[in-house]
Structure 1
Amino acid sequence: MLLELQIQDFAIIDRLHLRFEQGFNVLTGETGAGKSIIIDALGTLRGERVDPTFVRAGCARARVEGIFSLDDCPHLLPLLAENDLLAEGDDQLILAREISAESGRSVARVNGRAVNSAILREIGSRLIDIHGQHEGQSLFNPRTHLELLDRFGELLPLRQQVADQLAALRAVQARLADLRTGEARRQARIEELELLRADVAAAKLKLGEEEELLRERSVMQNATRIAALADEAYRALYAGAEGRSGRSASEAMATAVNALSELARLDERAGLLAQQATELQYQLEDLVIGLRRYRTDLDVDPRRLDAIEDRLTVLRDLQRKYGMDVATLIERAARAEAEIEQLSNSAAQIAALEAQEQTLLAELARRAQALSHQRRQVGEELSRQISAAMHDLAMPNVRFAVQIEQVDDPGGPLINGRRLACDRTGIDRVEFLIAPNLGEPLKPLARIASGGESARLLLALKSILSQVDEVPTLVFDEIDVGVGGRAGHVVGQKLWMISQRHQVLCITHLPQVAAFANTHYHIRKEVAAGRTRTSVELLSLDQRIDEIAAMLDGAPNDHSRANARQILERAQTWKQHRQAELAAKH
């Protein structure tokens, strides 16, 4: 709900800070005092369009800021989280908007972070709903009627079943569409896969083969140098054993071992040195043996190098042809068999999926028809309740109806001999209709001409649908215009009932409506230092009596004050009685 509203340099408001309460808040004052300006300021927080005329004369910019509690709007939290606008643990939300006098452009912020107008509208419209005689509010938008009807009738779980069934059907239809692509495309794909598989099989590709060939080629290309180095190393280690002059490393090592062994017998401290020398001699002998074997294996065949080059050419031609490495080629060839099988058997798969499609369509038809049937029953109950509410509001001849229609679609589910269009909400197109006067035909709600009729119908709808409306703060701007005192008492009752589930802000000229408020504010226009400004005052009980007396008789006097007290007492008695009834129900 709206906790605080701060307005600065907006129209004739210089600075205004309002704290609103839970329940029914009413604002009264003379015509022109600035009540509609407060509504306009709230509209800016809903993302409505602004222009330079909103800025107070002589000021550079106007600013409006609203602080909202998030306790009563959990439906808003996912949207805030999605846009990273809410820190963990936050239980309040601050919407702010600044309007430039020079350009008329505005900057919107949510919790101090700048956002575009689309995000502000989406957030603001979920926090505040403003209703007036000629407002294009959500109740008069046909796109909201189905949602309101389903929420009123608690049909959302059944609607979700339809949505789930439709999703399953769409998945099968997407697979069918893939399989129903042209036969030529399917055949071309089969040929492409078979060629890949044949090329990979003919080449006898092996994982790691290319790397091994490159290593072997490198060795053969450097064979002369490799042989010379190996021979040189061997001679250095073991040349003496082959009768060459000089001593080999092996001979030198043997001499050192003999000397150290003799030394260890003479001095035990040399034992470790003798042991290390013996181990080195063994390692040297192993090295000599390994080097001899390596020299023997260096028998290079020039024809082998040609074979390696030919094999590498085969591998690289395949990689260029298919644009993938050897490992990927082997993997794709292994998977090609399964894909060829699937493509070759597409006719059987299409037949199976078509049968599955018909089964899903039949189940979708059953669920959508059940939902539609429930909607018609709920629509009749909603019509009955709204007609009764309009009778209370001194409009006994009003007829209200919920129109439910369907649209044909050759690909939709078959219901009662018709194939009908179906989306996630079902097969129904819902719109509220009304006939304000006796003998007139029902017409779409959005085309109502009379402001008074619109206001009272709006109130009747809100009084019934408020239990399913998620918007926490509802603003009613003079919706009692054209309503007499007797009906005004009923308007006050219905607004108070709405305030049991929502925070209600109401601008009214009817004392009978004002008497039902939990909190009463008085708006006045005053002149200070040669400038006109609007101020708002929270009224005490005595001040409320004077204000209602003034609304009754133009100025407070003993007679009007007595009438005001009676109106307030009657409203208080009715509220206490209703509160007791509501408590007993729960």
Structure 2
Amino acid sequence: MLLELSIKDFAIIDSLHLRLNRLFNVFTGETGAGKSIIIDAVNALLGGKIGAEFVRSGCDRATVEGVFSIQALPSVSNEWQPLEVFAHASNNGASTIFDALEQAETRSTQPLQAADPESADASVALAALLLEYDITPDDGQIILSRDIFRSGRTVARINGRALSQQVLQQVASWLVDIHGQSEHMSLLRPEQHINFLDRYAELLPQREELGRKVGEWRNARKTLQSLQQNVQEQERRAEFLRFEIEEIEKANLRPGEVEELEEERKVLSNAERLRELCTLTYGSIKGADIGDEEFKPALDQLRVAQRSLSELVRLDKSMEEFSETLSEAIYQLEDVAASVSSYEADIEDNPRRLADIEDRVDQIAKLRRKYGHSIEEILQRAIDDQAELDTITNRDELVAQLQQQDGQFRSEIGALAQQISTRRTETAQHLATAMEEQLNDLNMRRARFQVEIQQVPDEEGVPGRINDQPVQTYACDQTGIDRVQFLIAPNPGEPFKPLTKIASGGETSRLMLALKTILADADATPTLIFDEIDSGISGRSGQVVGEKLWQLTGNHQVICVTHLPQIAAFADTHYNVNKQILDDRTITIVNELRPEQRVREIAHIMGGSVSEFSLKSAEEMLARSYLWKENRTRNIAN
């Protein structure tokens, strides 16, 4: 769950630090005050797309940081234990509603115990992911952060260590799920309905396997189609490949050949200089007249030194080792002289061999320009060309193999797609029933909901049997053979129609909340964020939406941006967001409201201006929500 959130220089937020409640956190405030900007900041923290326009004017970068607990969420019955604050306030020393609210809120922060099993499983999965990337939690917590620079560059970190945006997204996907007003649009896009159904049916692992197989099948089909088409083009390609292979093979290249040729060319090109150096070396050792200069033999000088040293050894045996060393040096120098003389005798001028080397080096250079930077790359080019040529020349055999493979793919994919389709069909009615129950609670009491599942026949598709009908072939993509669409009949006697044809804005909001309420039970993400999901809802429906959102705290921490007092009244922690102008600059201020402030804020939301009547109405609304939560908590505990 999200424990702390820090935002700096992000849009109109100068500096903000929040400590969040385990249960239901609500943000309210005037339009444009910055409520949704907080959600934008969280989205950036989770690795979402973000641009430089979010960097506060006059600043070089914006920073968002979140402290997350990765331990399993405590049970709601242990987390929220309010007093019977209104019926028995006086028995607990509470003289006013504000005292009672404060006592209840104090109780809600006491140490916790039991953990939800599903969230515990999520913690294990997250721990495995952190281990994969060598991320070590500190006392069951990790810190995610992201810097957004004016240049547009961003830097993501986990526990202070820079990681890729992809890794940040992977880790964050186990921590937080954001549902904004754009989610309503996803509900109106039929292509998204299959994803909702599969989440409810817990089919995502099977979907992943199916998607992998379909991807392999598509690649194999592309190869098959390529072989079956453009025969003339393939024949021209084969001729070109034969030319390249023949040219490379005729060159008879050897790895390391260029270096050998360069060394030999250097020797042949410098034959005269080599002889001069040999004569000079030999004469310095053995003695000779070279030009106008006479060299004294080095060996003669060393022999004189050897005789002196021998005489010295006769007088002092400790110098014997040095005498032996000098003798060895004389022998070695004589060997050097003999070797240099022999080398000089072998030096010859060979213009023809030098010309052959030049031609060979030029030939290899041309091949390198055409086929690769090194002889190894040129030889590999020939190997690759031969493999491609074999594929073309063995086309008929390969086509037969791929056709057989295509049949195997279709059979395997068809069987898996059939299993998924069967599971969807079984689950569809359960989802429809659950949706109707939720819609009944959301004041759409007579609405009927249906999950339509259809298949599209396709001769090139995969085999499947639908509703005990004869086996047919159906179009199949990475989601399977089904085309799923949600239908609704808001009123009795009306036929089922697509959501886009019937649902109003308020109905769409309630449909999404109903769906999220259902999916939340199968959703292991510990923190859910709703950005004004109550759009288009008011009155009694708002009360029910508040109840539904608070019910989600059974398995989740919930954060909500709302404009409805009925929803705000259910908050366990209530924040007010407002704009202020400081030093000619607009900044966003967020305050955690105490009980008396909450009453005034809800009164303000209810009517704009605060009056005695609106304050009393707000108190009553808060009282109803607290009593409802207390009863709900008792039911959970029992």
Place the TM-score, normalised by the shorter chain, in its bin: 0.5 to 0.7
Q: Are the equivalent residues in 2 in contact too, given 1:448–1:454 (CA < 8 A)?
A: no
Q: Are the equivalent residues in 2 in contact too, given 1:2–1:66 (CA < 8 A)?
A: no
**What is the letter of the counterpart of residue 575 of structure 1?**
R
**What is the letter of the counterpart of residue 528 of structure 2?**
P
From the superposition, tell whether residues 430 and 305 of structure 1 become closer, same or farther in structure 2 (CA, over 3 Å): same
Instruction: Find the counterpart in structure 2 of residue 474 from structure 1.
Output: 530
Q: Could you tell me how far 1:60 is from its partner in structure 2?
A: 11
Aligned partners of 1:546, 1:278: CA distance in 2, in Å?
107
Instruction: Find the counterpart in structure 2 of residue 444 from structure 1.
Output: 498
**What is the letter of the counterpart of residue 187 of structure 1?**
A
Aligned partners of 1:22, 1:409: CA distance in 2, in Å?
51
Find 2:354's aligned residue among 300, 308, 311.
Answer: 308
Q: Could you tell me how far 1:162 is from its partner in structure 2?
A: 0.6
Find 1:34's aligned residue among 30, 33, 45.
Answer: 30
Q: Could you tell me how far 1:440 is from its partner in structure 2?
A: 1.7
From the superposition, tell whether residues 220 and 573 of structure 1 become closer, same or farther in structure 2 (CA, over 3 Å): closer
Q: Are the equivalent residues in 1 in contact too, given 2:26–2:575 (CA < 8 A)?
A: yes
Instruction: Find the counterpart in structure 2 of residue 503 from structure 1.
Output: 558
| Residues matched between the structures, number | 530
Instruction: Find the counterpart in structure 1 of residue 398 from structure 2.
Output: 349
Q: Could you tell me how far 1:473 is from its partner in structure 2?
A: 1.9
TM-score, length-scaled by structure 2: 0.63
Aligned partners of 1:546, 1:295: CA distance in 2, in Å?
105
Worse overlay, 215-224 or 152-161: 215-224
Q: Could you tell me how far 1:183 is from its partner in structure 2?
A: 2.4
Aligned partners of 1:331, 1:483: CA distance in 2, in Å?
75
Find 2:250's aligned residue among 190, 199, 220.
Answer: 199
From the superposition, tell whether residues 446 and 311 of structure 1 become closer, same or farther in structure 2 (CA, over 3 Å): same
Aligned partners of 1:233, 1:547: CA distance in 2, in Å?
104
**What is the letter of the counterpart of residue 173 of structure 1?**
R
TM-score, length-scaled by structure 1: 0.68
SS at 2:218's partner residue?
helix
1:428 matched to 2:482? The reply is yes
Aligned partners of 1:465, 1:219: CA distance in 2, in Å?
81
Q: Are the equivalent residues in 1 in contact too, given 2:368–2:375 (CA < 8 A)?
A: no
Q: Are the equivalent residues in 1 in contact too, given 2:549–2:558 (CA < 8 A)?
A: no
Query: Which structure's CA Rg is the greater one?
Result: 1
Instruction: Find the counterpart in structure 1 of residue 582 from structure 2.
Output: none
Aligned partners of 2:323, 2:16: CA distance in 1, in Å?
101
Q: Could you tell me how far 1:199 is from its partner in structure 2?
A: 1.3
1:129 matched to 2:183? The reply is no
Deviations 1:475-531 (A, max 9, x none): 5565684654xx7765554333123234153757676x6775545679999xxxxxx
Worse overlay, 265-274 or 156-165: 265-274
Deviations 1:118-157 (A, max 9, x none): xx999999654345xx984544444442222111111112
SS at 1:70's partner residue?
strand
Aligned partners of 1:96, 1:402: CA distance in 2, in Å?
43
Aligned partners of 1:538, 1:462: CA distance in 2, in Å?
28
Instruction: Find the counterpart in structure 2 of residue 170 from structure 1.
Output: 218
Aligned partners of 2:227, 2:493: CA distance in 1, in Å?
58
Find 2:628's aligned residue among 568, 571, 574.
Answer: 571
Aligned partners of 2:319, 2:183: CA distance in 1, in Å?
108
RMSD: 5.8
Aligned partners of 1:359, 1:209: CA distance in 2, in Å?
49
Find 1:396's aligned residue among 425, 445, 462.
Answer: 445
**What is the letter of the counterpart of residue 440 of structure 2?**
H
Deviations 1:163-197 (A, max 9, x none): 12123323433544665563224422441244135
Q: Are the equivalent residues in 1 in contact too, given 2:599–2:619 (CA < 8 A)?
A: no
From the superposition, tell whether residues 65 and 403 of structure 1 become closer, same or farther in structure 2 (CA, over 3 Å): farther
**What is the letter of the counterpart of residue 155 of structure 1?**
L
Identity rate, percent: 28
Deviations 1:355-408 (A, max 9, x none): 112211221111112212211221211101111222344433211112233456
Aligned partners of 2:329, 2:446: CA distance in 1, in Å?
117
**What is the letter of the counterpart of residue 154 of structure 1?**
E
**What is the letter of the counterpart of residue 467 of structure 1?**
D
Instruction: Find the counterpart in structure 2 of residue 405 from structure 1.
Output: 454
From the superposition, tell whether residues 544 and 110 of structure 1 become closer, same or farther in structure 2 (CA, over 3 Å): farther
Q: Could you tell me how far 1:233 is from its partner in structure 2?
A: 4.9
From the superposition, tell whether residues 545 and 321 of structure 1 become closer, same or farther in structure 2 (CA, over 3 Å): closer
Aligned partners of 1:290, 1:562: CA distance in 2, in Å?
111
From the superposition, tell whether residues 311 and 326 of structure 1 become closer, same or farther in structure 2 (CA, over 3 Å): farther
Q: Are the equivalent residues in 2 in contact too, given 1:4–1:18 (CA < 8 A)?
A: yes
**What is the letter of the counterpart of residue 297 of structure 1?**
D
Instruction: Find the counterpart in structure 1 of residue 418 from structure 2.
Output: 369
Aligned partners of 2:331, 2:178: CA distance in 1, in Å?
92
Q: Are the equivalent residues in 1 in contact too, given 2:410–2:462 (CA < 8 A)?
A: yes
